Structure 1
Amino acid sequence: MAIYELANDTLIKVETTSFEAEKLRERQDIQRLLRANIQAISPDTLVIAEEYGHFVESNRRIDLLGIDKSANLVVIELKRDDDGGHMELQAIRYAAMVANLTWEHAIHAYKEFLSRTEQDLDAESVLLDFLGWDTPQEDDFGKESRIVLAARNFSKEITTSVLWLNDMGLDIRCVRLNPLRLDERLLLNVEQIIPLPEAMDYQIEVRHKKREERAARNDGKDRSRLNLYVNGTLYQQGFRKSDIGLYTVQALQTHQLIDDTVFNYLRHNKTCSFQLLKQLHEITGTADKYRKYRSEREPEFFYQDVGYYVARNWDINNTNRFIIEIQQRFPELRFEWD
């Protein structure tokens, strides 16, 4: 579809151009501009490194490395050509290489980035403020990785591969960068083409459901029900994994095991990819649309006279991670699959 300027009595077509024709270089121009304006292709993202290459026995470098508001790592790859080359495979390699990036590694990388870009800021303070954390939460950092591919265009091979990889549980976004010229002005049309923005929430929900179904099939047994014991006594029997957060919090509260430290731990726990405890006004977007919290009811948990709702986004994998973590932290509690 063409883009037009609305004039008084006519439409003036905005002509398509190319980065090559405009003599814009990939790293020195496009990457530099997007580095400083990353929201254009990846909203709610903070760039913490450029040309990141701290990999053992590898000379590969990530164009831009960021984190999002959920403390996920964001690998951003850029191309100025018309087919994207093999950037999806390249980005997957990079995502695998940074999968074990720790909080301390991120701080070190961000310090280097701030120094190189001549920004007089404290790396850790900026990261904490961006994530909304009072103190570092190493266990919640970098649990998942996302990939953003930005290019002049994408070949059918890339789009087909990305659609399949997303269906298998990865989170890859393709953003088309289309330079345009209107008289002496150079414009940039930025379009997210995969997943389509209007279908993104739905596709994410479908992907999560398929991932859970595959995990259940691969596990070889029905793990849909749980029992919870406190000090060896049955507290709750035969509940669904979607209620594991609720009964855990209630059991801890009933047995007076929650103080300020424990509450802060529970409040910010994101094992299920959503914050475990939220107030009503904090539940927005996808979480509300797909009932990740029982926000239509009265609050399920109160602490210091403030009501909270408990996240319900549990699949087999994150349920098992949560069980291990809770049993290690609270030896009074024990779970078993029914």
Structure 2
Amino acid sequence: MPLYEITRDSLTPIAQKTFTELGFQERANIQRAVRAHIAAITPGVRTMVLAEEFGDWVGANRRIDLLCLDEEARLVVVELKREDGAHMELQALRYAAMVSTMRFDQAVEAHRKYLKSMGSSEDPEQAIRDFLEIEDGQVALSEEVRIVLAASDFPQELTTTVLWLNKQGLDIRCVQMRPHLVDQRVLIDIQQVIPLPEAEQYQVAVREKSMEQAAARPSSRDWTRFDLVIGDQIFTNLPKRRLIYEVVKEALRRGLTPSQIGAAVPWRESTIFLSADGQLDSLTFQSVGGEKSLARYYSADEDIFHIGGKTYAFSTQWGSRTREAIDNINKLMPEGAPVTYAPTTKVVDEVTYGEHVIRQRENGSIEVERNGVPMQPVKPVLRELAMKLQLLPQNGRGNDLNTRQLGAQVVRAVKEL
């Protein structure tokens, strides 16, 4: 809504300008001004600036305009746009994910660099402790990351997305900054438009209630993921259907037949495989078997099996008896490296190196993603990364490191960069 100048008996609209028309730069002017008065765009939440143009992560050239901390020890990602804020919510979400694992010592180091850039000799740790009103002892940052988007205008697709994300439990605020020229002075009308301040407490209460109901809602589906170890190969974070696929793949590799595997799972014996005569590729297999009939089977070229002059596709439909089926197949497994599996544990360390993300889980297992795609098997990828990092893939006795040892070594090396 426009601003008006009121006289005794009339209202005169004050024309809205754009920052571009007024010659204001996004970083040199707007960001600098907001940095000095962060409270202007964070109403009702006491906030301090930790860092400016923050980008301390490996393999990324993007930077957060302002990285802040609020009074509840939550990190706050602040993104600023001079004009239209189109797509800025997607960028901010990526940044929030990247900083979500930040520790207190890393926050202190980020603030140290910021203070140095400002010419300040203030102690960064003490500054943060004073702000949080924590005199001594350990400080743990909240797992929740808030987002503040500030721009002169927000398109409908952005506001719709933000409203939906907030309903899912995130905390994203949209703050509108609109400049006006009055007697050669630039006045900025700053309004929080999402959530509306007068409705904020209500919206927070609704969101918390929805999250509480979702957590309490019973679910019969088992979402457990598993780590599978076959000798020196480690497959991490597998859903149950992929877990049994990898076990069956190994069983077939060791010489078990599809009929033997089917007999080990009598309640699924007739539907565990689809087969066709000949050594077929996936397209030919689909034309023979019918696309609809293959919809519930692994039928990509890399997933089908060629055995005894026939082509087989393995079922993707596995329910509550998946682990029983795996154990039955494992009992028939011909001699070879042990095949074991266990529920996936939580991630205790994660680093990014180029296009790769390497995670170390609580049980020591290692998983690697490249551009978001899980890499299997893991060890060849770790060897490649170890070479780039100039690491030796052998221990002090000259023996090859196993996957977990090599992964831990790679994680340490990346963290030391």
TM-score (norm 1): 0.62
Q: Is the 8 A contact 1:107 1:124 kept in 2?
A: yes
TM-superposed CA distance for 1:2, in Å, is 2.3
Aligned amino acid, residue 79 of structure 1: K
1:5 aligned partner, one-letter code: E
| Aligned-residue offset at 1:8 | 4.9
1:55 to 50, 54, 57: 57
> Within 5 A, what are the aligned runs for 1:126-137?
126-137=127-138
> Secondary structure of 2:15's match?
strand
Offset at 1:195?
0.4
Q: How many residues are aligned here?
A: 219
Question: Corresponding residue for 1:16?
Answer: 16
Q: 1 or 2 for the larger relative contact order (CA 8 Å, sep ≥6)?
A: 1
Structure 1 residue 76 and structure 2 residue 53: aligned? no
Distance 1:202 1:51, change over 3 A: same
| CA–CA separation in structure 2 for the residues paired with 1:80 and 1:30 | 7
Counterpart check, 1:177 vs 2:174: no
Unaligned runs of 5+ in 1: 222-338
Q: State the distance in 1 between where 2:81 and 2:137 align.
A: 34
Query: 1:22–1:142: structure 2 CA closer, same or farther, 3 Å change rule?
Result: same
Corresponding residue number in structure 1 for 2:113: 112
Give the letter aligned to residue 169 of structure 1: G
Deviation of 1:183 after TM superposition, in Å, equals: 2.0
Residue deviations 1:298-319, cap 9 Å, x none? xxxxxxxxxxxxxxxxxxxxxx
Measure how far apart 1:87 and its partner are. Answer: 0.4
How far, CA to CA, are the matches of 2:218 and 2:164 in structure 1?
19
Change (3 A) 1:218 1:154: farther
Corresponding residue number in structure 2 for 1:27 = 27
Q: Which has the larger radius of gyration?
A: 2
Question: Following the alignment from structure 1 to structure 2, what is the Cα–Cα distance between the partners of residues 218 and 71?
Answer: 32
CA-based RMSD:
1.5
- Cα displacement (A) at 1:135: 1.5
Structure-1 residue corresponding to 2:66: 64
SS in 1 for 2:217: helix
Which sections of structure 2, spanning at least 5 residues, go unmatched? Answer: 222-417
Q: Separation in 2 of the partners of 1:97 and 1:29?
A: 27
2 CA distance for matches of 1:29 and 1:41?
15
1-side partners of 2:204 and 2:137: how far apart?
28
Q: Which residue of 1 aligns with 2:186?
A: 186
Q: Which residue of 2 aligns with 1:244?
A: none
Cα distance change of structure 1 residues 10 and 98 upon mapping to structure 2, 3 Å threshold:
same
C-alpha contact 1:102 1:142 (8 A) present in aligned 2: no
CA shift at 1:218, angstroms? Answer: 5.8
The letter for the 2-side match of 1:59 is N
Moved over 6 A (4+): none
Q: For 2:59 and 2:86, locate their aligned partners in 1 and report how far apart those are by CA, in whole Å.
A: 24
The worse-fitting range, judged by mean Cα deviation, of 1-10 and 186-195 is 1-10
Identity value in percent: 48
Q: What SS class does the counterpart of residue 187 from structure 1 fall into?
A: strand
- Residues 260-307 of structure 1, C-alpha deviation per residue, up to 9 Å, x if partnerless? xxxxxxxxxxxxxxxxxxxxxxxxxxxxxxxxxxxxxxxxxxxxxxxx
Q: Deviations over 1:58-93 (max 9, x none)?
A: 1111000000000000000011122x1210000000
- 1:1-338 equivalences in 2 (<5 Å): 1-8=1-8, 10-43=10-43, 44-82=46-84, 84-139=85-140, 141-217=141-217, 220=220
Distance in 2 separating the partners of 1:111 and 1:120: 9
> Cα distance 1:120–1:9, how it changes in 2: closer, same or farther (>3 A)?
farther
| In 2, Cα distance between equivalents of 1:7 and 1:136 | 58
SS at match of 2:48: strand
Q: Secondary structure at the match of 1:138?
A: coil
Paired with 2:219 and 2:111, the residues of 1 have a C-alpha distance of 40
Residue by residue, what CA displacement relative to the aligned partner does 1:234-283 show, whole Å, maximum 9, x if unpaired? Answer: xxxxxxxxxxxxxxxxxxxxxxxxxxxxxxxxxxxxxxxxxxxxxxxxxx
Q: Is the 8 A contact 1:19 1:179 kept in 2?
A: yes
